[in-house]
Amino acid sequence: MKSMRADADRKRRFDEVVGIFHTELYRYAAWLSRDPGIAEVVVQETLLRAWKSLDSLRDDEAAKQWLLTIARRENARYFEKKSLDTIDIDDLTPEQSAMVAQSDDPQLEEMRGAIFRLEVEYREPLVLQVLLGYSTKEIAEFMGINPGAVLTRLHRARLKLKKSIDEAATA
């Protein structure tokens, strides 16, 4: 009986943690992998690993970073296992194209395409800052790079996006 209650408590805690961060988790995985199908697989594997290591999460306040850390590792593992190279931006799958063109707003589609084309070393810190609200220090710790490198990458990411959007506007 005690064991059933403990299992139920564990499941409830897990559902609360995952329920709060699922949207951010999926979006992070999707922009990291640039593939909705891969993102779903990464999210599923992340949830399974998170369930197994839930006891190692001492503070639920740290749950977001904890889940994203797992997702980052699962994404890397997925690409390593599949021996996938970088995505050919001119040869997107239907799912990838759908991800870029999800909206009827051409400006939104343009920006999504521009972010899609960013190299991952620029795209990831941008996603962490703008989508997930990470500070420079948090991004540095998460990605394992120094804060100066984070600042440089954010700067370059925005300038590349601005250039891309400006070129599209004048075309």
Partner 1 sequence: MKCHEYREAIATDPSGSFDGGDDHATACPSCRRFREEMRELDVRIAAALAIDVPLLRTPEFTPADATASAKVDLHAGRKGTATLPVWIGIAAVLVVAAFLGTRLLAPEVALPSLAEQIVAHMDYEQDSRRITSVAVPEQTLRQVMSDDVSTMDTGRELVTYAMSCVINGRAVPHLVIQGTSGPVTLILMAEEKIDDAIPLSGDNVHGVIVPVGNGSVAIIGEREEQLSEIDEIGERIVESVTWKT
**Interface with partner 1 (CB under 8 A):** 7, 10-11, 15, 18-19, 22-23, 26-27, 30-31, 36, 40-41, 44-45, 47-56, 62, 65-66, 69-70, 73, 76-78, 80-83, 99, 102, 107-108, 111-112, 115, 126-127, 130-131, 136, 141-144, 151, 154-155, 158-159, 161-162, 165
Least separation in angstroms between residue 150's CB and partner 1 is: 8
Least separation in angstroms between residue 90's CB and partner 1 is: 20
Select 24 or 171, whichever has its Cβ closest to partner 1: 24
Least separation in angstroms between residue 6's CB and partner 1 is: 9
Token pair of 105 as six digits: 């707003």
C-alpha 128: how far from chain center: 8
Least separation in angstroms between residue 91's CB and partner 1 is: 17
Select 36 or 87, whichever has its Cβ closest to partner 1: 36
- Distance (Å, rounded) from C-alpha 77 to C-alpha 94? 23
Least separation in angstroms between residue 51's CB and partner 1 is: 5
Select 13 or 86, whichever has its Cβ closest to partner 1: 13
Select 79 or 171, whichever has its Cβ closest to partner 1: 79
CA distances 78 to 29, 44, 50, 65, 130, Å, are 11, 12, 16, 20, 25
